[in-house]
Amino acid sequence: METLSTATAFGGTQGVYRHASTATGTDMTFSVYVPPHAPGAKLPVVWYLSGLTCTHANVTEKGEFRRACAELGLIFVAPDTSPRGEGVADDPDGAYDFGLGAGFYVDATEEPFARHYKMWTYVTEELPALIGAEFPADMDRQSIMGHSMGGHGALTIGLTFPDRFRAASAFAPIVAPSQVPWGQKALGGYLGDDTASWRRHDAVALIEDGARIDALLVDQGAADSFLEKELRPDLLRAACSDAGIDLTLTLRDGYDHSYYFISTFMADHLHWHAARLNGEGAA
C-alpha cells in the first residue's frame, strides 16, 4: 500500500492511498479518514460508495463527514467506483453511465469488462482485508452507505451481508436497477442478457427474493432531476413494506442530486450508523 497524501483534520488523519488490486488487476486508489483515538483502540468502519462519474475524491473533498466521524469515533473509507488505467475497457461511446467511473459494484462476466470490472469482489473482499490489516479497524463493527450508483451498491451489499454490516443507508440510491435505464444498461453490459442474474444486484429484487435487514435509512432530494426516471424510491418503499423492513425514507424539499444535498444530511446518517455500530439499535 502506497500513501499518496495525508492531512490532519479534526484531530484525525485524512489519507489517500493506492495499492495493486488482484481483484481488478489494476492499481486502485481509495481514501480513509481515521479519527483521533487512544493508542491500541479499534474503531468501527463506515464504508461509503460513490456514484456515477465519481472517484474517492468527491466525497473526500465535498462530503463534510470528518467532524462527525471525529466526534463519533468512526473510520470512513471511500473506494473508487471502477478500475482505471491502461487497457481497462470503457464505454465505446464515451458515455458517463457505463465503463470508467461506473462500475456499479458488480463482478462483470461479459467481455471486454470481465477482465478488470470486479468491483463486487474488490469492495466486499479485497479492500476490507487491506483495511483490517493496515488501519485500526474493528472489522466486527462495519456499516455501509452510498450515493446514487453507490447507494445501489450499499443497499445490495448490506442486504447480501446483513451479518457483516450493522447498518446500511443511502442518498438518492438506484433502488431497482433492473427497472430503470441506468441499471438496465449497466447490468446488461456487465452481466449479460440473463435478467435472472441481475437480481442479486438489485435491492428491490433482493428483498422480493427474501433478503432481509433490520432497518434502512434513505434520504432523497425532491428536486432531484433523476428521481422519477432512474431512482424510484417508491419501489423500495413498497418492497420494504411488504417484507416488514423498517425503512426511513425522507423526501427533502428543494434538494437535488449533488453534494450540497449529501453534505447537508451526512452527519444525520453517521449518527444513525454510530448508534447501530455501538449496539444502541434505534437510538
**Would you please indicate which residues are annotated as catalytic (active-site) residues?**
148, 224, 257
Q: Closest Cα partner for 101 from 76, 82, 74?
A: 82
Q: What grid cell was written down for 42?
A: 479499534
Q: Which residues, 6+ apart, have CB-to-CB distance to 259 below 8 Å?
A: 58, 59, 62, 63
Give the angle subtended at the CA of 18 by the CAs of 277 and 174, to the nearest 5°.
55
Torsion sign over Cα 257, 259, 264, 265: positive
- Cα–Cα dist 124/42, whole Å: 20
- Cα–Cα dist 245/170, whole Å: 15
